[in-house]
Amino acid sequence: MTMNYLSTRNKDLRMSASQAIAKGLAPDGGLMTPAVLPRLPASAVETMKEMSYQQRVVYIMNSFLEGFAASELTAYAAEAYGGGKFSHEDVAPVRKLDDNTYCLELWHGPTCAFKDMALQVLPHLLTASLEKNDEKKTVCILVATSGDTGKAALEGFRNVDKTKILVFYPKDGVSEIQELQMVTQEGGNVSVSSVVGNFDDAQAGVKTLFSDEELVAELTQRGYFLSSANSINWGRVLPQIVYYASAYCDLLKSGAISKGEAINVCVPTGNFGNILAAYYAKVMGIPINRLICASNQNNVLTDFINTGTYDRNRTFYNTISPSMDILISSNLERMLFELSGRDDKLVCEYMSQLAEYGSYRVDSSIRTKLKREFNAGYCDDQQARDMIAKMWNEQNYLIDPHTAVAFHVLEEYREETGDDTVTIAVSTASPFKFCDSVLDALGVKEHRAGLEILDQLTEVTGVPTPAPLARLKKRRRRFEGGVEKSAMKNCVLEFLK
Ligand SMILES: *Cc1c(COP(=O)(O)O)cnc(C)c1O
């Protein structure tokens, strides 16, 4: 098998596709990335245009996954995106708002957030990878979540053979519904724990576990090895490339754009995984012009794109878009790798400065390239609430606070630049995951307690509650535990007894 994945910190550190997916992270701390980014044939869009979403998945993923037969990928795509798993038959439908504004809805999956797009298929890619690598041990997925990944990973891996999954979420950083979704998770191979602190604490804790040699040795003896389902895993990024290609095909099919016409995308961003996938889609040949990076008040990426200095030494805000409350955007490393002309030494340098000082400044060539590809803006909580109200009042379209960040930043971008290119704003969660903030935005002062708030939002708007959230009412809490960051290791050892 060809070793055609490499570490962003050492191009000589090679793995096959199945190894890259099974390992999740390179042993040197780098991110496994395709040695060559495949280019789509000129006819690709015309071909994919006539395909179902599942067929588009196979078409795109096939060119990245040597060692996986198309028939295997077809089966995974069917299991992940077919069979009623998604409540919309297009899986990732594109909704028209006006002649040059479209919304890509990525939350029709089982947990009502865009993480399902990747985490429904990742378990299939991962278990197949383990088999291809002749791995006998059981994999234990460790997840640090800012809210949505945890639930989506639990749902994706629930009762999948030869896997276990343990999710850590920041105690003060997820919504009530997000927390309920996780602590009521069913399945015999799952566990959930809160961690004192914010998302960066939880994520740093998980990273420490991965590099804890004593822990790894002990688990090996017990027949386990650790892997990641965080968006640093290539198996997370790859499925996300598909929906950008798919959305482009849908726009073309509906006549919204003409053949070859370039579009912009505006992506609400946290760990930089979603927008990175758009960049890869562009490199592969999907006609995308501007990549607009939308942040909330944790605007470390806005500053980075505008100034070339990444600096996490700043106040951390708990916002109403908690899945973007992140000061270290892990997937940015892959972007730096590409923009530096794949200079692994330089990536190492920046990443060690980030680890040591919490900041780094990229060279002028990277700064120029960043500006050539990206625009960036941010949106505070009040602006997000205003946008939710505006979309509801003017378009009769109910959006969640993350999606509102994208629409706000898009509006500012258009005011500043006058650019009226057809643009896809990415919608990453159902508004019903964030009822409190959405009701606030709509001016509803008294909120019902617990899950009754779902009915309240339905009564106020007439929009039905997504079935997976309505079902939460019948679920019991299974996981009540919480730990200090220093006790995460014990938590793993207990779980894998
Ligand atoms: C994870 C998430 C994001 C951020 O996506 P990244 O890939 O981390 O940039 C945005 N919105 C929602 C609802 C999310 O769950």
269 CA → ligand 1 middle, Å: 6
Amino acid at the residue 61: M
Predicted local distance difference test score (pLDDT) of residue 147? 74
Predicted local distance difference test score (pLDDT) of residue 207? 86
- The C-alpha atoms of residue 90 and residue 88 are separated, in whole angstroms, by 5
Angle, CA of 449, 455 and 456, to the nearest 5°: 65
Predicted local distance difference test score (pLDDT) of residue 403? 98
- Give the number of the atom of ligand 1 that is nearest the alpha carbon of residue 273: 7
Predicted local distance difference test score (pLDDT) of residue 448? 96
Predicted local distance difference test score (pLDDT) of residue 230? 79
pTM check: above 0.85: yes
For ligand 1, whether the C-beta of 151 sits within 6 Å is no
497 CA → ligand 1 middle, Å: 33
Instruction: Evaluate whether 434 touches 320 at the Cβ level (below 8 Å).
Output: yes
Question: In the 8-state DSSP scheme, what is residue 487?
Answer: G
321 CA → ligand 1 middle, Å: 9
- The C-alpha atoms of residue 332 and residue 118 are separated, in whole angstroms, by 18
For ligand 1, whether the C-beta of 109 sits within 6 Å is no
**pLDDT tens digits for 128-142?**
999 999 999 999 999
Q: How far is CA 227 from CA 15, 20, 126, 136, 306, in A?
A: 15, 10, 10, 14, 34
Predicted local distance difference test score (pLDDT) of residue 114? 95
For ligand 1, whether the C-beta of 142 sits within 6 Å is no
**pLDDT tens digits for 429-476?**
999 999 999 999 999 999 999 899 999 999 999 999 999 999 999 999
* Per-residue burial over 81-99, b = 16 or more CB atoms within 10 Å of its CB, e = otherwise: beeebbeeeebbbbeeeee
For ligand 1, whether the C-beta of 234 sits within 6 Å is no
Q: What residues in the chain have per-residue pLDDT under 50?
A: none
Predicted local distance difference test score (pLDDT) of residue 227? 86
From start to end of 42-159, where are the E strands?
Answer: 94-98, 101-105, 138-144
For ligand 1, whether the C-beta of 437 sits within 6 Å is no
Predicted local distance difference test score (pLDDT) of residue 361? 98
For ligand 1, whether the C-beta of 230 sits within 6 Å is no
Instruction: Evaluate whether 284 touches 259 at the Cβ level (below 8 Å).
Output: no
To which H or E segment does residue 2 belong?
Answer: none
Residue for token digits 């993350």? 402
Predicted local distance difference test score (pLDDT) of residue 359? 98
> Which has the closest alpha carbon to 181: 190, 127, 91?
190
For ligand 1, whether the C-beta of 272 sits within 6 Å is yes
Residue for token digits 């990245």? 64
187 CA → ligand 1 middle, Å: 25
Angle, CA of 144, 211 and 207, to the nearest 5°: 20
- Give the number of the atom of ligand 1 that is nearest the alpha carbon of residue 147: 15
2 CA → ligand 1 middle, Å: 32
Residue for token digits 């429904």? 120
- The C-alpha atoms of residue 447 and residue 284 are separated, in whole angstroms, by 47
For ligand 1, whether the C-beta of 376 sits within 6 Å is no
For ligand 1, whether the C-beta of 270 sits within 6 Å is yes
**By alpha-carbon position, which residue is closest to atom 11 of ligand 1?**
428
Residue 461, number of CB atoms within 10 A of its CB: 17
Q: Which two tokens stand for residue 306?
A: 């505008």
For ligand 1, whether the C-beta of 269 sits within 6 Å is yes
- Give the number of the atom of ligand 1 that is nearest the alpha carbon of residue 268: 10
Predicted local distance difference test score (pLDDT) of residue 200? 80
